Structure 1
């Protein structure tokens, strides 16, 4: 399972979320950071929305949006949110 974070340099919300994601112990996901300034399509789509999280759970590479966590969420709270979201997404994909 991959977690994609759309971000850009100098975005304090993005940097804070990335730091918390990297601190999660034994993650059940591979974190991929995508800098929106490297592609016009990403920049046009996410410039006013970052940080944006997506999870990819299948071989079809379909990106499923993850609700944005509060910047005040702790690492533990973020881990719980992701676990809950990912397990719900897996159930929905199985149906």
Structure 2
């Protein structure tokens, strides 16, 4: 499983979510952090939304046409604990 975190420098919510994701030990996933300031399309899409978290099938089976599917996940509360974040991710991985 791969998680993609759209973030930007100086975003405390982004940094907090990244730290919590990196502390999860009971789930196996690869975390890719994408700095929205490095691409105009990412910046346009997420400048007012970060942090944004996506689940990607990049390491799993591809979509019907072989494309990579990235599905947005609900934004976790900044107050969510590492355990609560892990529970949320388990819920979406089960689907």
Name the TM-score, length of structure 1 as normaliser: 0.88
How large is the Cα RMSD of the aligned pairs? 0.9
- Which runs of structure 1 show a deviation greater than 6 angstroms over 4 or more consecutive aligned residues? none
Name the TM-score, length of structure 2 as normaliser: 0.88
Which range moved further: 12-21 or 52-61? 52-61
Rounded to whole Å, the distance in 2 between the matches of 1:9 and 1:26 is: 28
Size of the aligned set, in residue pairs, is 88
Aligned-pair CA distance for 1:29: 1.2
1:80 is aligned to 87
Rounded to whole Å, the distance in 2 between the matches of 1:30 and 1:24 is: 11
1:6 is aligned to 6
Mind listing any 5+ residue stretches in structure 2 that lack a counterpart?
none
Mind listing any 5+ residue stretches in structure 1 that lack a counterpart?
89-95
Aligned-pair CA distance for 1:12: 0.3
